[in-house]
Amino acid sequence: MTDTNLKDSGILYVVATPIGHLDDISYRAVEVLKNCDLILCEDTRHSKRLLQNYNITTATRSLHAHNEHHISASILAQIKQGSHMALISDAGTPLISDPGFPLIEQAHQQGIKVMPIPGASAVIALLSVAGLPVQPFTFHGFIPPKKNQRLAFYQSLLPLNQTHVFYESSHRIAKSLVDLSTILDSEARVCVGRELTKRFEHIYSGNAEEVSQQIQESTNHQKGEFVIAVSGRISSATLTLNDDTQKLALLLKPLMAPKQAASVVAEHHGANKKQVYEFIINSSND
C-alpha cells in the first residue's frame, strides 16, 4: 500500500465502488481491495463481477442487513488481531442506505482505525448535475412504500426551504411521482436520475407534474434505479411580502414558534401564511 503499511495494525477500510460504470473506481480503491485480508460484501455474488474485472482475488464474506448484528463482533476481533478488511456495498459508498452501521459504530467504540476510500455516490452524482441548490440538502434514503405514508412524507417536506434527496424503486416510481405532483406546486423543481452512469442513464427535470409525465411516457422510463431531488424557490417569499409584513414577522420570530408567528402575521396583513413561514425560517440564516 502506498499510504498505509498493512502489516502495522488492523484497519477497517470503507471502500466506495462504482454505481454502474465499472471504470468509476479509484486506483487507491483497487489497491486496497487487492491487498487487504478480507472483503466484506453486501452480496458476494454481485461483487464478483467487479472483483474479477480488476483481477482482485482477495477472499470475500457476506455482510448484509440480516447478519451484520451477529458477525460484527467476530470481524472486529480479527481486525484487532491484525487483519485488514475492506467493507463494500453492492454499489456506491457503503452505509449510504446500505448495511454496515453496526460494524462501523462498534469499530469506533473499540478504538479500531476506520479509513474511508471515497468514490461514487448516486446522491452526489445526481446533485452535481441537477441544477438545484445544494447548500443545504437532506438525504432521506428510501421513502415509505405505502401511499398514505408516502404522501405524509412528501407533506413533511413543506415548505421547501432546502433541497431534499431520496431513493425510489422502479415498481413505485410512477405512482410516487404522481403523489409528489399532488403535494408540490408548479414552482417546486424536481430532478430524477435513472440508472446513473449506466447504459440507459437519463436525467428528468422540471416541476413534479412535468417529470411525472416524462416518466409515464414509456414503461422503459420506469425501469432501473432512481434518485430524486426536490427543491423549492427558497427566496421567493421575500419578493412578495411587503416591508410591514416582513417587519412584523421579524418582530414576532423570537417571541413564538414560526408556524404560530406566520399565522398571526398572515391574518394581520392578509398575507400568504406559507410565504410568511418561509420568510421567518430563511431569515434565521441571514
pLDDT tens, position by position, 219-260: 999 999 999 999 985 444 434 678 888 889 899 999 999 889
Q: Where are the domains of the chain?
A: 11-120, 123-231, 236-283
Fold for the domain defined by 11-120: Cobalt-precorrin-4 Transmethylase; domain 1 (3.40.1010)
The model's pTM = 0.77
> Do 263 and 275 meet the contact criterion of CB atoms below 8 Å apart?
no
CATH architecture, domain 123-231: 2-Layer Sandwich (3.30)
Contact 160, 179 (CB under 8 A): no
pLDDT tens-place string over residues 102-161? 999 999 999 999 999 999 999 999 999 999 999 899 999 999 999 999 999 999 999 898
Which are the contacts of 38, defined by CB distance < 8 A and separation ≥ 6?
A: 58, 59, 60, 61, 78, 83, 85, 86
Q: Which three cell numbers stand for residue 203?
A: 436525467
Distances (CA, A) of 98 to 82, 93, 231, 257, 266: 26, 8, 25, 36, 44
Type and span of the H or E element at 38: strand 38-41
pLDDT band for position 4 (cuts 50, 70, 90): very low
DSSP annotation of 93 reads S
Average per-residue pLDDT in the chain? 91
Chain segment 156-189, per-residue pLDDT in tens: 999 898 999 999 999 999 999 999 999 998 889 9
Residue bearing cell 422502479: 170
